[in-house]
Chain A
């Protein structure tokens, strides 16, 4: 099996799965009917991408592995999503801050991944770009609206950006498997995206009349499988059906 490629795929796919799960929690609980549907749409876009990645990974793994095994039957340490996407939906400002900080990164990643030497990954990225562009437009608009809105919305949006900021640096960490894949022209070297990422994010925060947080120390660990305390609860929700009724289908 192509061990490094398998790991690289999960590193990307797990971000989409866990963020989709977080957004899915808001289904029926959005602040308005319109935003509720919008968030669920984004969740389903991400889930669709996740399925493409996992189907590919399952094929690489062989041994009759399926996308469901990969999605539902791993233990916490085996999920390699970044800490940012597992953060809870504390309030709508947090949902949008998390989404915005991820979307800017996600779009940059997709734009480069479409040039991957791996045809399947390139195709998934190409298809995803339009979806992710819309996600970024949606979350950036909300960050600007709330940041440049009322006194209360500005305060909450700033608090949310500050709370999520410490998880941003991890997005650009390169793992061992990634290095091997970068050398083969398959993976994107995310460490090189860092400077542009912070420029793009700062530009929108300035438009939103928000302050760009200054921070020297960042929290990381998700890419190594070391998660925050929120992850266990999220997985309990996500995995409940498959654990309780193994191999169940709709």
Chain B
């Protein structure tokens, strides 16, 4: 114990709640390897019938954008309303747009 104690790596858990829908990020948990991560995810996130499929990926493999770069990354898109298809009249029958 003490200094010799090692923590299991962190894993990000993605669950698809229904066939036809996409996997969504549900949270993260600790596990020694991918197989254990799947089993842990099953127990932690799907015990109330939340899912039909699970993906796990070790957190260290995720490359994230840097919040310091938010200005150059995201602000240029803020004033370009013409990039949204909002200038069309959608027929009432078209849903999920």
A→B interface (CB under 8 Å) = 32-35, 37-38, 41, 137-138, 141, 145
Q: A120 vs B47: C-alpha distance in the bound complex, in angstroms?
A: 26
- Which one of B31-39, B63-71, B74-82, B83-91 contacts A? B31-39
CB-based contact A34/B43 at 8 Å = yes
| Total number of B residues with any Cβ neighbor in A under 8 Å | 12
Q: A155 vs B47: C-alpha distance in the bound complex, in angstroms?
A: 33
Partner of B8, one of A32, A38, A41, A138: A32
CB-based contact B47/A34 at 8 Å = no
Partner of A138, one of B31, B39, B47: B39
* Chain A residues, Cβ within 8 Å of B17: none
Partner of A145, one of B32, B44, B47: B32
* Chain A residues, Cβ within 8 Å of B43: 34, 37-38, 41
Given A38-B40, A138-B39, decide whether A32 and B47 contact each other with a Cβ distance below 8 A.
Answer: no
27 A-B residue pairs with Cβ-Cβ distance under 8 Å, sorted by A, are A32-B8, A32-B30, A33-B29, A33-B30, A33-B44, A34-B29, A34-B30, A34-B31, A34-B40, A34-B43, A34-B44, A35-B40, A37-B43, A37-B44, A37-B47, A38-B39, A38-B40, A38-B43, A41-B43, A41-B47, A137-B39, A138-B39, A141-B35, A141-B36, A141-B39, A145-B32, A145-B36
Q: A145 vs B39: C-alpha distance in the bound complex, in angstroms?
A: 14
